[in-house]
Structures are given as C-alpha cells and as structure tokens.
Structure 1
C-alpha cells in the first residue's frame, strides 16, 4: 500500500468514528503567470490533523511499512511533544486510532 492509500483508509476509519480529519496538501506549484504558490504550512507538518469526539486535537504522520520521518518532520514532532499534543506516525488505520484513542504523544517516532 502507498502512503496515499494508507491515508485514505485512515480518513475513512476516522470518519466512521465521527472524528473530524483534514488531509494536508503541502508544497509549491508553479502557476501559469510564472509565480510560485506555496501552501504556507510549516515544513514537516503532518499529513493528517483533526479532532476526536471530545474535540481533542491530533496530528498523524502517515508512513508506509518502511517509511521514515525526515528531519523537518522530526523538528515538528519535537514541537508537538514539547507541548504535549497527541501525535504519531501511523502505518495503518489501527495505529492511527490507537494514537488518538490513547492520547499518545510521539507514537512511532
């Protein structure tokens, strides 16, 4: 499964649990007028973020079975950890649900 496929299965699993979840699109795109459009999110921002049934925020970095976080993702992870915010790396819907339900901080990093 690709990371994109895993993201979609996680989003479906979250939806079934009535979690509000957003997919993050990051990067730069060259527009027709020759200017670059940047999404504006910080480097390393996780792939998914949202709120559980209790409106508690969470951030999920999605990786394949062999995927590893990059240096920008590790810096973002440290910032979330320092603030005690629920986040982690998920390689499956089951891991993503465990992160949110368990209020885990830094799972999989």
Structure 2
C-alpha cells in the first residue's frame, strides 16, 4: 500500500502536468528549542494540497488519504465549509482521483454524506 506522502507526490506531478499550479500545505505545530510552540497559521483541517486550474483560474483543494485513511472531524468541518461555497475539493487516494476532482470540478468527492 502506498503512503499518503507517495500519493501526494504523485498528485503534485500529475496536476502540474495537466495545467495546474499546486501548493503543499504544511499544517501543524512544532515545539521550538526554547519551549515555545510554532503553529503554521493555517486552520485545522486545511487540506494537504491546494491550487489553481489554469483553464479558468478556479481554486481547488485536495485532501490526500491512503487506501484505508479516513478524514478527521476537523477535515470534515473544512469540507463542509468548502461545500457551502461550492469550491472544488475532495479526498484523493490516487493521482487519478485528484485529476478527476480537478478536471471535472467536483465538490466534496470522496466524503461520505450523512
């Protein structure tokens, strides 16, 4: 089974080859040597990748998961926010998923509806 890191790298290459600009979002906190915490500044649940589709300048967000990964509660909340604004986004378990999300303009692909 591929790791999320491997899948993420494959997605970045494929989207870049298909007329998209892609950014990796580093989210989290780290303890500095002096004991203080540094937080990236992005909100909790922010997807792993985001970018712009060149054909129409639409923004997209991709949460990367391996074959068995499940979104955390904060990621589901971010999904609900993006869905409420009809923003292209979804969970990609492969580069094919990511390309489908972006090229087809899917909103919420891969998230289970309740």
What TM-score do the two structures reach when normalised by structure 2? 0.93
State how many pairs are aligned.
Answer: 109
- Alignment match, 2:24: 23
- Alignment match, 2:61: 59
- Alignment match, 1:10: 11
What TM-score do the two structures reach when normalised by structure 1? 0.97
Moved over 4 A (4+): none
Write out per-residue CA displacement over residues 49-74 of structure 1, whole angstroms, 9 at most, x where no aligned residue: 00011211000000001111010000
Distance in 1 between residues matched to 2:74 and 2:33, nearest whole Å? 29
Secondary structure of the residue aligned to 2:19 is coil
Q: Is it true that 1:35 corresponds to 2:32 in the alignment?
A: no
Root-mean-square deviation (CA, aligned residues, Å) is 0.7
- Please state how far the C-alpha of 1:18 moved relative to its aligned partner: 2.5
Distance in 1 between residues matched to 2:50 and 2:27, nearest whole Å? 13
Query: Which runs of 5 or more structure 1 residues have no equivalent in the other structure?
Result: none
- Please state how far the C-alpha of 1:34 moved relative to its aligned partner: 1.6
